[in-house]
């Protein structure tokens, strides 16, 4: 493979000088999301991302109950630390289960229970444990992970702790990652955030995050990372994957995805390319993170990110131009 980067574009993430590649690798699949992935496949996936020029990697203790962090750390161990940006999350700590093994969407994972925990002490312990699993001495971005039912606890405990660590130079940026936009919007207004990670709510099927949250972030200089651009698979291939937001897609939603696929096919574009670039095109968006479980999937995602999208199709699909037109 040609060693020249395929994804060379870099964008500023927030106001404090952190710069990331516009495409990042999300590692939930490397934590055996829904199905097991071998260590070799995980290494090859990260290697394919690196070869494509990707230098932004997102993980979390939840993903594989620590497995994704360990695999990502091992795969990046031989890479120059100053050449990539590493993001992880806090809000869940991994503890031995008090009873039967917890149910999980991750398979063949360590017998640990991801427990919601948003105190200052839990935050410090979580970061320390993540550093050990990743095998690094620092992480660049720390997101508060899914505080949907713990908004007050996050405001009182974890956010002040992270801001303190950022001010001390221990971490580079403070963010929040969720599958909803209203609470993220409240955090942007009330917390000195550097970035947000919005999953599944700025997509071709659900662009709801674009109405309020993305303009607010642009106004306040908060970086936006978009995840879940395929809505857990339906927008990657609605024929082969009928999953929408981690569950079986409703027939109406699957029909919409198929109609989008047909419209894209008429323009000579894959639905996956349109879905990925719909998010990348928004002027408030810094980066899109995509999950991949194999070298082949990673290369497909990279190709989708670089495929030309005809102007007429972009207009039909509601792409927001860099000038807001």
User: Is 108 a catalytic site residue?
Assistant: no
Angle (nearest 5°) at CA 33 between 244 and 180? 45
User: Is 63 a catalytic site residue?
Assistant: yes
Instruction: Catalytic residue, from 39, 43, 58, 211: name it.
Output: 58
How many secondary structure helices (H) and strands (E) does the chain include? Answer: 11, 14
Q: Do residues 257 and 205 touch, judged by C-beta distance below 8 A?
A: yes
User: Which candidate, 132, 13, 136, places its Cα nearest to that of 79?
Assistant: 136
Instruction: Catalytic residue, from 3, 39, 63, 244: name it.
Output: 63
Instruction: Catalytic residue, from 89, 122, 146, 194: name it.
Output: 89
- CA separation for the pair 55, 215 (Å, rounded): 26
User: Which candidate, 250, 311, 304, 312, places its Cα nearest to that of 277?
Assistant: 304
- CA separation for the pair 252, 124 (Å, rounded): 44
Point out which residues pair with 85 in neighbouring strands: 56
DSSP character string of 231-278? GGGTTT-TTT--EETTEEPPHHHHHHHHHHHHHHHHTT--HHHHHHHH
User: Is 202 a catalytic site residue?
Assistant: no
- CA separation for the pair 277, 202 (Å, rounded): 11
Q: Which residues are catalytic?
A: 58, 63, 89
């Amino acid at each position: 493979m040609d060693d020249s980067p395929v994804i060379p574009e870099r964008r500023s993430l927030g106001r404090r000088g952190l710069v990331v590649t516009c495409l990042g690798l999300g590692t939930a699949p490397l934590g055996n999301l829904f199905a097991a992935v071998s260590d070799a496949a995980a290494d090859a996936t990260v290697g394919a991302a690196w070869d494509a020029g990707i230098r932004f990697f997102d993980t979390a203790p939840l993903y594989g109950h620590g497995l994704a962090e360990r695999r990502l750390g091992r795969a990046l161990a031989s890479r120059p630390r100053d050449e990539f940006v590493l993001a992880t999350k806090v809000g869940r700590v991994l503890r031995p289960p008090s009873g039967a093994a917890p149910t999980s969407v991750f398979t063949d994972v360590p017998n640990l229970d991801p427990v919601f925990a948003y105190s200052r002490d839990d935050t410090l312990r979580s970061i320390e444990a993540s550093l050990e699993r990743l095998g690094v001495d620092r992480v660049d971005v720390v997101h508060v992970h899914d505080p949907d039912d713990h908004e007050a606890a996050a405001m009182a405990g974890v956010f002040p702790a992270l801001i303190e660590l950022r001010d001390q130079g221990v971490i580079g940026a403070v963010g929040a990652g969720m599958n909803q936009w209203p609470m993220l919007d409240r955090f942007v207004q009330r917390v000195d955030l550097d970035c947000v990670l919005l999953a599944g709510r700025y997509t071709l099927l659900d662009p709801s995050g674009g109405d309020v949250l993305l303009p607010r972030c642009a106004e306040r200089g908060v970086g936006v990372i978009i995840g879940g651009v395929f809505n857990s698979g339906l927008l990657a291939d609605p024929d082969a994957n009928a999953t929408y937001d981690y569950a079986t897609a409703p027939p109406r939603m699957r029909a919409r995805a198929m109609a989008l696929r047909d419209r894209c096919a008429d323009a000579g574009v894959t639905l996956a390319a349109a879905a990925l670039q719909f998010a990348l095109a928004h002027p408030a968006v810094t980066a899109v993170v995509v999950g991949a479980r194999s070298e082949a999937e990673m290369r497909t995602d990279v190709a989708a990110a670089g495929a030309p999208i005809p102007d007429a199709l972009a207009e039909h699909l509601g792409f927001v131009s860099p000038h807001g037109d």
